[in-house]
Amino acid sequence: MKRLLIKGGRVIDPASGIDGIFNVYAVGGKIAAVKPHVQTPDSGPQSDDWDIIDAAGLIVCPGFIDMHTHLREPGYEYKETIQTGTMAAAAGGFTSVACMANTNPVNDNASVTRYILKKAAEEAVVKVFPVGAISKELKGEMLAEIGELKEAGCVAISDDGRPVISSALMRLALEYAKPFGLLVISHSEDIGLAADGVMNEGLISTKLGLKGIPNAKEDIMVARDIALAELTGARLHIAHISTKGAVELVRNAKQRGVNVTAEVTPHHFTLTDEAVVGYNTNTKMNPPLRTKDDIDAIKIGLQDGTIDAVVTDHAPQSIDEKDVEFDNAANGIVGLETALPLLLRLVSEGVISLSALIEKLSANPAKLLRLGGKGKLRVGADADITVIDLNKEWVVDAKNLKSKSRNTPFDGWKMKGRVVKTIVRGKVVYEW
Amino acid sequence: MRLKRKDILTIEDLDRDEIGLILSTAESFKEVSDREIKKVPTLRGRTIINLFYEASTRTRTSFEIAAKRMSADAINISASSSSVVKGETLKDTAKNLEAMNPDCIVLRHPSSGTPQILSRLLRCSVINAGDGAHEHPSQALLDLLTVKQRFGKINGLKVAIVGDIAHSRVARSNIYGFIKLGARVSVAGPPTMMPSGIDKMGCGVCYNVEDAILDADVIMMLRIQLERQNGCLFPTAREYSRLFGLDSKKLEKAKKDVVILHPGPINRGIEISSDVADGEYSLILNQVKNGVAVRMALFYLLLGGSRE
Ligand SMILES: [Zn+2]
């Protein structure tokens, strides 16, 4: 029986309301006990029975759960694989990732889900939870086999990468998913409003001569999706919220009792559209980097609970897809390995507490995806644990990322705070 | 004199003194084009590649003639005749061209920012000959030269730029250029052709052409891209021409010594009527002539040694 003791760290477990110096005991991959740390030499287990991690001065918290990752396998193994993507996850403190369905073939039927889970069982470093497609081949025409996707192990459905353009189909998806208890994750954009936009619309896009994407492109679809969630009573989750208006729409809907939740990525509140000046294609993503006004609204949304979860939208792209003209470059950035220090800036700025941040990285995603036994350090829960050194300073070097792709706008950034150990089911899978 | 920079990518990057130097250098090169033997040996042995990913007879020819009058070797590569159509990436094209050791690449590209990206990949000079809706610096420089020749100054003039500002690289470069040299710039056209935040670029915005040209010293009409109207920025060419085009009736309200510019090629009867385009206020052919001088100056100031 594997036995692990994490000794003397500041344990923060929002799900149990714990924040203090504790010892965490894990046996057989499960949390066996969380006990106050007493500094007497002969109390506690002996080192030959237990693997002991001295966590003095470190944060010990439930392993992070990324609700929004693109692992790219099957089909785009040149960008990322289940193995490399989960290695990147481990390096970022994520012990579980939910992988989006826009693979090739699309994860729109149980056989693809089973393939992903089989590969994950063989090669993944952290736990993989597939997200199934809403529509067949992400075409937005016919529902995917949502019931079978759920049976095969999908934890949510989403056509992420593109919106469900037809309101009728989105309504059907919400209704149909309801009895299965599946979260419907919406990539909300009104494509037609600015189909060829490549960055946020505003002074910067005008100066750069790049086609703009107005906030309304997102706001319109979020408003529609909320109306449909209200109509159906289903569980709607807004992916990668980026605009002030969308935050406001979600806040109002929640106040009315609509079953809607939302997530945000670190880059959407760290960078503005000014980062695009110079045409670095690693600043191209969808939704695009917005403005300070939007960032301020997102921060308030994180503060007041409008935004439930923080996700990476880890979107690996090969150098050949990024090292081209800005218009022709692929969207997205890798995010798993840079998320935590960017998020910790919110804590040092006083936007949210460390505990609230950890909640949005663990307990809340576990709740939204209904992952029993995850996102908490309670006795009997999976021993998925992340250990953080808040003061560790380091520099991002894209060359050294665990991900197979290097598309990060944060290359060379000086970061403070990093994951020093990632533990999945009682086993250390990453060490700094 | 040389410019202390490797590339000419934008007017936004250039300061007042650099623009002044380019204009005075261009002025001194103008007479070369009036000689019987239209050639100076200044850039003998230099290689200039015109790399055009977009058709543009006028701009390409102007750069080519400028290079040849400086005795440089000029090679033209256009998207249709190169490996571009076979799907070679910009980076590969750049590296292959670099391997042939050119001194300067003149790039025209439909995607904004591509000259910047290319300039970071290449050791040789890059001149932006127009990128997407971003900038067209040599056009703005020749416009500035044309206006300066007529008025003897730029400072204090009022310039109205009329048309599709949103999609115009000429507009952006001219807004920067004229404002840097002390002119007041206003842009005019239907709101569907005004890009977001344009008022924050230091120019006035107006939706009525009569108002815009009322006290203008310079009216710059932009080409309407009829072929690009898939988004239908205006209802019909007829309505555009009547409301936003420049004709002699609208011109009656303008200043007596007003001048009219157009970057060409013009759509006669749409953004500008024939009588105005060919009339006494038009400096359109001066622009073309100055284009060669400005491009000679750019080559000289980037590549040249001492001038005899
Ligand atoms: Zn998405």
CA of A352 to the centre of ligand 1 (A): 25
Q: Give the strand pairing for A199-200 and B158-162.
A: unpaired
Instruction: Tell me the pLDDT band of A53, cut-offs 50, 70 and 90.
Output: very high
Same domain as A418, residue A312: no
Please give the pLDDT value at position A124. Answer: 98
Same domain as A72, residue A45: no
> Which residue type sits at A46?
Q
Q: In the predicted model, what is the mean pLDDT of residues B106-123?
A: 95
Please give the pLDDT value at position B55. Answer: 86
Q: Is A176 inside any structural domain?
A: yes
Distance CA B86, CA B72 (A): 29
Residues paired with residue B78 on neighbouring β-strands, in sequence order: B52
Q: Is A10 inside any structural domain?
A: yes
Same domain as B94, residue B46: yes
Structure tokens belonging to residue B119? 């300039």
Q: Is B3 inside any structural domain?
A: no
Same domain as B167, residue B36: no
B79 contact A CB<8A: no
- Which run of H or E residues covers position A310? strand A309-310
Whether A324 and B201 lie within 8 Å, measured CB to CB: no
Minimal-distance CA residue of chain A relative to B120: A278
Instruction: Report chain B residues whose CB lies below 8 A from the CB of A202.
Output: 196-197
Q: In the predicted model, what is the mean pLDDT of residues A90-112?
A: 98
Q: Residue B129: pLDDT above 50?
A: yes
The residue among A357, A356, A355, A337 whose CA lies nearest residue A401 is A337
Q: Residue B229: pLDDT above 60?
A: no
Write down the mean pLDDT value for chain B: 92
Distance CA A405, CA A419 (A): 20
Burial of A30 (0-12, 13-18, 19+ CB in 10 A): middle
Distance CA B41, CA A56 (A): 75
- Which run of H or E residues covers position A4? strand A3-13
Q: Is B201 inside any structural domain?
A: yes
Structural domains of chain B, count: 2
Cβ atoms of A93 and A64 within 8 Å: the answer is yes
Provide the 10 A C-beta neighbour count for residue A17.
Answer: 8
Q: Is A275 inside any structural domain?
A: yes
Cβ atoms of A365 and A385 within 8 Å: the answer is no
> Which residue type sits at A216?
A
The residue among B237, B243, B263, B251 whose CA lies nearest residue B161 is B263
Same domain as A138, residue A27: no
Please give the pLDDT value at position B91. Answer: 85
Residues paired with residue B47 on neighbouring β-strands, in sequence order: B73
Distance CA B40, CA B244 (A): 44
Cβ atoms of A345 and A276 within 8 Å: the answer is no
Instruction: Report chain A residues whose CB lies below 8 A from the CB of B197.
Output: 202-207
- What is Dmax (Cα atoms) for chain A? 69
Q: Is B1 inside any structural domain?
A: no
Structure tokens belonging to residue B272? 């500008």
Chain A positions with Cβ closer than 8 Å to B? 201-212, 214, 278-279, 320, 323-328
Whether B111 and A326 lie within 8 Å, measured CB to CB: yes
Assign residue B149 the CATH number of its domain. 3.40.50.1370
Structure tokens belonging to residue B137? 């610096």
Q: Tell me the H-state helices in B78-218.
A: 90-99, 114-121, 137-151, 169-180, 209-213
Q: In the predicted model, what is the mean pLDDT of residues A405-418?
A: 97
Cβ atoms of B237 and B226 within 8 Å: the answer is yes
Burial of B36 (0-12, 13-18, 19+ CB in 10 A): exposed
Q: In the predicted model, what is the mean pLDDT of residues B61-88?
A: 82
Same domain as B215, residue B131: no
Same domain as A37, residue A166: no
CA of A187 to the centre of ligand 1 (A): 5
Q: In the predicted model, what is the mean pLDDT of residues A75-83?
A: 98
Instruction: Tell me the pLDDT band of A45, cut-offs 50, 70 and 90.
Output: low
B57 contact A CB<8A: no
Cα torsion at A358, A362, A368, A371 (round to 10°)? -160
Cβ atoms of B63 and B52 within 8 Å: the answer is no
Same domain as B33, residue B125: yes
Please give the pLDDT value at position A419. Answer: 98
Same domain as A297, residue A197: yes
Assign residue A222 the CATH number of its domain. 3.20.20.140
Q: Residue B227: pLDDT above 80?
A: no
Please give the pLDDT value at position B217. Answer: 98
Cβ atoms of B307 and B42 within 8 Å: the answer is yes
B164 contact A CB<8A: no
What are the start-end ranges of the E strands in chain B?
47-52, 73-78, 104-109, 125-131, 158-162, 184-188, 204-206, 218-221, 259-261
Same domain as B283, residue B228: yes
Instruction: Tell me the pLDDT band of B226, cut-offs 50, 70 and 90.
Output: confident
Please give the pLDDT value at position B35. Answer: 84
Q: Is A219 inside any structural domain?
A: yes
Structure tokens belonging to residue A348? 């040092």
Q: Hey, which residues of A are catalytic here? A: 313
Q: In the predicted model, what is the mean pLDDT of residues B280-286?
A: 95
Structure tokens belonging to residue A78? 């040149």
Write down the mean pLDDT value for chain A: 96
Q: Is B111 inside any structural domain?
A: yes
Distance CA A126, CA A430 (A): 10
Cβ atoms of B178 and B235 within 8 Å: the answer is no
Distance CA B231, CA A393 (A): 50
Instruction: Report chain B residues whose CB lies below 8 A from the CB of A205.
Output: 195-197
Q: How many H helices and E strands in chain A?
A: 13, 18
Cβ atoms of B42 and B70 within 8 Å: the answer is yes
Q: In the predicted model, what is the mean pLDDT of residues B131-135?
A: 97
Tens digit of each residue's pLDDT (9 = 90 or more) over B164-177:
999 999 999 999 99
Same domain as A410, residue A282: no
Minimal-distance CA residue of chain B relative to A200: B196
Instruction: Report chain A residues whose CB lies below 8 A from the CB of B135.
Output: 209
Please give the pLDDT value at position A416. Answer: 97
Report the residue from A201, A209, A323 with minimal CB separation from B172: A209
Same domain as A390, residue A272: no
CA of A69 to the centre of ligand 1 (A): 10
Q: Residue A423: pLDDT above 80?
A: yes
Instruction: Tell me the pLDDT band of B308, cut-offs 50, 70 and 90.
Output: very low
Q: In the predicted model, what is the mean pLDDT of residues A162-176?
A: 97
Assign residue A412 the CATH number of its domain. 2.30.40.10
Domain of residue A53, residue span: 3-60+381-431
Structural domains of chain A, count: 2
Domain of residue B30, residue span: 16-136+288-303
The residue among B99, B106, B101 whose CA lies nearest residue B76 is B106
Whether A209 and B117 lie within 8 Å, measured CB to CB: no
Whether A209 and B131 lie within 8 Å, measured CB to CB: yes
Same domain as A323, residue A201: yes
Please give the pLDDT value at position B266. Answer: 92
Minimal-distance CA residue of chain B relative to A328: B111
Instruction: Tell me the pLDDT band of A1, cut-offs 50, 70 and 90.
Output: low
Q: Is A11 inside any structural domain?
A: yes
Single residue among A317, A341, A369 that ends a domain in this structure:
A369
The residue among A427, A421, A382, A415 whose CA lies nearest residue A9 is A421
CA of A133 to the centre of ligand 1 (A): 12
Q: Residue B231: pLDDT above 70?
A: no
Instruction: Report chain A residues whose CB lies below 8 A from the CB of B116.
Output: 278-279
Q: Is A414 inside any structural domain?
A: yes
Distance CA A404, CA A374 (A): 27
Please give the pLDDT value at position A276. Answer: 98
Rounded to a whole number, what is the distance in Å from the CA of A74 to chain B's nearest CA?
26
A14 three-class SS: helix
Tens digit of each residue's pLDDT (9 = 90 or more) over B186-209:
999 999 999 999 999 999 999 999
CA of A289 to the centre of ligand 1 (A): 13
Residues whose CB is under 5 A from ligand 1 (ion)? A 160, 187, 239
Percent of the residues in chain A that have a pLDDT greater than 70, as a whole number: 97
Please give the pLDDT value at position B307. Answer: 40
Same domain as A55, residue A190: no
Same domain as B130, residue B169: no
Please give the pLDDT value at position B203. Answer: 95
Cα torsion at A411, A416, A420, A424 (round to 10°)? -80
What are the start-end ranges of the E strands in B31-124?
47-52, 73-78, 104-109
- Residues 193-252, chain B, touching A (beta carbon < 8 A): 195-198, 200-201
Structure tokens belonging to residue A264? 């945000």
Same domain as A349, residue A264: yes
Please give the pLDDT value at position B306. Answer: 47
Same domain as A8, residue A102: no
Minimal-distance CA residue of chain A relative to B194: A206
Q: In the predicted model, what is the mean pLDDT of residues A135-154?
A: 97
> Which residue type sits at A270?
T
Same domain as A403, residue A311: no
Distance CA A333, CA A321 (A): 12
Please give the pLDDT value at position B86. Answer: 60
Q: Is A374 inside any structural domain?
A: no
Q: Is A376 inside any structural domain?
A: no
Same domain as B189, residue B98: no
Residue of B89, B117, B230 to mutate when probing chain A, most A C-beta within 10 A: B117
Count how many pairs of residues, chain A against chain B, have C-beta atoms within 8 Å: 71
Q: How far does chain B reach from its first CA to its final CA, in angstroms?
A: 12
Whether A324 and B12 lie within 8 Å, measured CB to CB: no
A179 three-class SS: helix
Whether A326 and B117 lie within 8 Å, measured CB to CB: yes
